[in-house]
Structure 1
Amino acid sequence: MLKLFQNILVPFDLSSQSTRAFKVALDIAKKYGSKITTLTCLEGDSWHHKYYDSRADAELIKKQNKASKKYIEQLESLARKNSVSMKSNIIKSKSVVNDIVIFAKSRKHDLIVMGSHGRTGFDKMLLGSVANGVSQKTKCPVLIVK
């Protein structure tokens, strides 16, 4: 029997949208007996300029890592309560979209469930959309949760 969605990837950025996406992934995982992997991409100061200080960047990454681990512990607890296997990964990223796509492909994830901030207009044009970028660049299905 073919099992759909054996490995679900949930990109997690500590937002309420990514928490909601995780809960949707948890429901899918319970139904299909899937495993969940969370991926948190830490970005340093993306506004580099000629006076860029790498020590400040390292400190920012350290703070993000600590905050991420605290949130992920809560997700792991939720997964355990629902008898769903979960792994978590935290990486330093230069391109969140590319890193999510490469991670999903290299680990053979067959579904990505991710939150969307729902930005529109100028905000979307200025900031881009991670969910949109991932959905366009990956080969596996992407469920975007708003």
Structure 2
Amino acid sequence: MKRFDKIMMATDFSDNSDYAFDYALALARQFNAELTIVHVINEPADLRGIYVPQVTYEELEKEISQGAKEMMAKFCSSKLADYGNYTTAIVSGIPFQEIIAKASEIGASLIVIGTHGRTGLEHLVFGSTAERVVRAAKCPVLSVRLPVQ
């Protein structure tokens, strides 16, 4: 079996991502791999032309970034207490593009990503970040879906 020495996990902090993380961590333990956990702040629509008296666009970006940092810290402290070979990254942009770019940057040998399993109109409207990552990644991608209840 091919060895996975750098595993990248993309998370949006949803239940789907949490479930996929269990796979990423199990594989990282099995292969004694470096685990990189990435969260992409989806670029918000440009709100600079909209009048919102209480907050500036820059303040909004700062609050979103700070919230993501806090969520990542909480995630890591609750999930990685006994696994020290990991790094984290929070980036802004279009999720599938940033996931692919980060995987390339770190030389990931495997990407693990949760999927919502949307179909029909919902899939058409929201798309699938996981599907786009699978199509564009230069390394294997493990797409994990929550079990059907």
Shift of 1:44: 3.2
> Are the structure 2 counterparts of residues 57 and 126 from structure 1 closer, same or farther at C-alpha, using a change threshold of 3 Å?
farther
Shift of 1:92: 1.3
Q: Which amino acid aligns with 1:61?
A: E
Q: 2:109 and 2:131 mapped to 1: Cα distance?
A: 17
Q: Which amino acid aligns with 2:14?
A: S
Q: 2:142 and 2:61 mapped to 1: Cα distance?
A: 28
Q: 1:5 and 1:56 mapped to 2: Cα distance?
A: 44
RMSD: 2.4
| Structure 1 unmatched ranges of 5 or more | none
Q: 2:16 and 2:99 mapped to 1: Cα distance?
A: 17
Equivalent pair of 1:44/1:58 in contact (CA under 8 Å): no
Partner of 1:87: 87
Q: Which amino acid aligns with 1:105?
A: S
Equivalent pair of 2:114/2:143 in contact (CA under 8 Å): yes
Shift of 1:125: 0.9
Partner of 1:51: 49
| Structure 2 unmatched ranges of 5 or more | none
Shift of 1:106: 1.8
1:1-146 mapped onto 2 (5 Å cutoff): 4-46=3-45, 48=46, 51-52=49-50, 56-77=56-77, 78-81=79-82, 83-93=83-93, 95-146=94-145
Shift of 1:38: 1.0
Shift of 1:50: 8.9
Aligned residues: 142
Shift of 1:52: 4.7
Give identity over the alignment, percent: 27
> Are the structure 2 counterparts of residues 31 and 62 from structure 1 closer, same or farther at C-alpha, using a change threshold of 3 Å?
same
Q: Which amino acid aligns with 1:103?
A: K
Equivalent pair of 1:10/1:36 in contact (CA under 8 Å): yes
TM-score (norm: length of structure 1): 0.84
> Are the structure 2 counterparts of residues 34 and 65 from structure 1 closer, same or farther at C-alpha, using a change threshold of 3 Å?
same
Q: Which amino acid aligns with 2:132?
A: G
Equivalent pair of 2:92/2:98 in contact (CA under 8 Å): no
Shift of 1:111: 0.3
Shift of 1:102: 1.4
